[in-house]
Amino acid sequence: SQTIHQWPATLVQPVGSPLSLECTVEGTSNPNLYWYRQAAGRGLQLLFYSVGIGQISSEVPQNLSASRPQDRQFILSSKKLLLSDSGFYLCAWRFRYEQYFGPGTRLTVT
Amino acid sequence: GENVEQHPSTLSVQEGDSAVIKCTYSDSASNYFPWYKQELGKRPQLIIDIRSNVGEKKDQRIAVTLNKTAKHFSLHITETQPEDSAVYFCAARPQGGSEKLVFGKGTKLTVNP
């Protein structure tokens, strides 16, 4: 069966520090992968998606970037975090029609 | 592009009552409509979905209906229980090879014991 992992689960970072969040999927190959952000009490904002290695589509211009160095690995990065980057970061993958979310990383920028 | 509107934003019901959440979409070519349940502090979980070639789908106490003419779809929860309390999100996927789901803003459902 397919499994999606994210780490770390929680993260507290100062403003201006770098960020790296990792997402990996097991049990499938060539999945579509997605990064979402959810501010406290808000909806799901799509940040990036990838249909294959090295293929990244950006949905929202901001100080975040994404990379897909391997088929089942998706990384979200920032060189300098802003206070507004705080939120719940969710990785997701698509299987046929369905889309499933990972457990998420809760990021607090102080 | 596709736009999904979800109503109501909050819904409070008594245990045992039914709850209905409605979503409208703008792209008539959208062909897939999932519903997610998100409990506090957890990831959204896919609870039911429907494709454009089906008008209704049921799974125990939950059901989804789709009206393609009116471009709206609804989630129905019967015999609500306190554990149904959560935020529910609808979504639509446009046709034409789109890789993205477009989400509604969510409905916070509270089931009072």
For A30-98, give the DSSP string: S-EEEEEEE-TT---EEEEEEEETTEEEESS-SSEEEEEEETTEEEEEESS--GGG-EEEEEEEEETTE
Residue A96 is predicted with a pLDDT of: 86
Helix, coil or strand: residue B54: coil
**Per-residue pLDDT tens digits for A32-89:** 999 999 998 889 999 999 999 999 999 886 899 999 999 999 999 999 999 999 999 9
Q: Which residues in chain A have their CB less than 8 angstroms from residue B46's CB?
A: 98-100
Please name the residues between 29 and 88 in chain B that touch chain A, using a CB distance below 8 Å. 32, 34, 36, 42-46, 49, 51
Any chain A CB within 8 A of the CB of B94? no
* Tens digits of residue pLDDT in A7-21: 999 999 999 999 999
- CB A98 to CB B99 under 8 A? no
Q: Binning pLDDT at 50, 70 and 90, where does residue B99 land?
A: confident
What pLDDT is recorded for position B38?
98
Specify the pLDDT at position B96.
62
* Per-residue pLDDT at A51: 93
Are B23 and B44 spatial neighbours (Cβ–Cβ below 8 Å)? no
